[in-house]
Amino acid sequence: MIYGVVFSLLASVCYSVSNLVEKTAVDHMPEISARRVGHMIQQIAGSRLWVSGFVAGVVAVILTVIAYSLTPIVVVQTIVAAGLALLVLGSRLFLREPIGRKEYLGLCLIIGAVVLISVTLSSSAAIGIENDTRNVVIASVATAVLAALAFRLLSVLTPNDASVPFGVTSGLFYGVASLQAKGAATILQRHGLIAGVPHVLESPYPYVFLITSIVGLLIFQSGLQRSRVAVIGPFSSIVASIYVVVVGMLIFHESFPRDGVLTFLRVLGFAFALGGSWIFSEPLRSHRREPNQ
């Protein structure tokens, strides 16, 4: 399981680098919108800086798939969520986004989450390997519909805070993409890293992953230009993490450790990671400004 932790850590670093680089790139672009897909693709694909951030994101996805094949979902998601500490610190160092004193509490929670999860690594909790493609597809379609409804509703409820509708909606689509990554990981776990590739390509996972990732990417980039990366990044990640842990554990029949204390520590670690992420973003919302003003 320790190798799964290593891959999760590497993935979290790549995700943070990807978000920071993409944020830098879109801030120097004309206004982009997911409603004008052609224009957006032309802008982002024409930016070498953005493409380099996108490549880092692709590497992060590959590392996450490998991590899913080695470690339970809740462990991977906790470590990936903990990587948001790097994102927020990076936004302060490289993008000069303000950070309040509450971030120290958030950082402590993030560190506590990693410690709690580390304590449970020796447990006997099983890694989900059941491959119920039908349930994954049903959950994916239902979530896509929910995401569309959520975007409309949140846009009305929070007209002055783009990070909420764009963050939540992109998080849902990224969560669906993560389900496909977990599905592909179960196939690789069953057939082996190399021999399993043809079986993955025969499944719907890579294709649904591609579609939902692109939709999530377009929505996230639109929101990224309209709000701080240290705000929309945690929003999107929190929603995706909760979604993957709850839905993924149900679909792939993953269990918590048999020991009640270890189960409590693992759940608490995940909660700490989410709580720390939320604290990182919350103080900044009151200082939100529109880009290029």
The domains of the chain are located at 2-285
What per-residue confidence (pLDDT) applies to 116? Answer: 78
Q: If we measure between CA atoms, which residue out of 114, 37, 94 comes closest to residue 276?
A: 114
CA angle (128 as vertex; 199, 114 as ends), nearest 5: 120
Q: What is the pLDDT of residue 283?
A: 46
**What end-to-end distance do the CA atoms of the chain give, in Å?**
48
Q: For the segment 31-85, what is each residue's pLDDT rounded down to a tens digit?
A: 888 778 888 888 898 999 999 999 999 999 899 988 888 888 878 887 887 776 7
pLDDT interval class at 289 (50, 70, 90): very low
What tokens were used for 98? 């303000």
- The pTM of this model reads 0.75
Whether the predicted pLDDT of 91 surpasses 90: no
Q: Using the 8-state DSSP alphabet, how is residue 65 labeled?
A: H
Instruction: State which amino acid sits at residue 165.
Output: P
Q: For residues 232 and 167, is the Cβ–Cβ distance under 8 A? A: yes
Residues 6+ apart with CB under 8 A from 192: none
Give the number of C-alpha atoms closer than 13 A to the C-alpha of residue 69, restricted to the C-beta side: 20
Residues 236 and 15: their CA atoms lie apart, in Å, by: 12
pLDDT of 169 > 90? The answer is: yes
**pLDDT computed for residue 76 by the predictor:** 86
Mean pLDDT of the chain: 82
What is the pLDDT, as a whole number, of residue 126? 59
- pLDDT digits over 252-285, tens only? 887 777 778 888 888 888 888 777 766 765 544 4
Average pLDDT over residues 202-215: 93
* pLDDT value at residue 129: 61
CB half-sphere exposure, 145, CA atoms < 13 A = 5
| Angle at alpha carbon of residue 104, lines to 292 and 81, rounded to 5° | 75
Q: What is the 3-state secondary structure (H, E, C) of 279-290?
A: HHHHHHHCCCCC
Other Cβ atoms less than 10 A from the Cβ of 37: the count is 13
Residue from 25, 167, 21, 28 nearest 90 by CA: 21
pLDDT at residue 123, as a whole number? 60
Q: How many Å apart are CA 130 and CA 186, to the nearest integer? A: 7
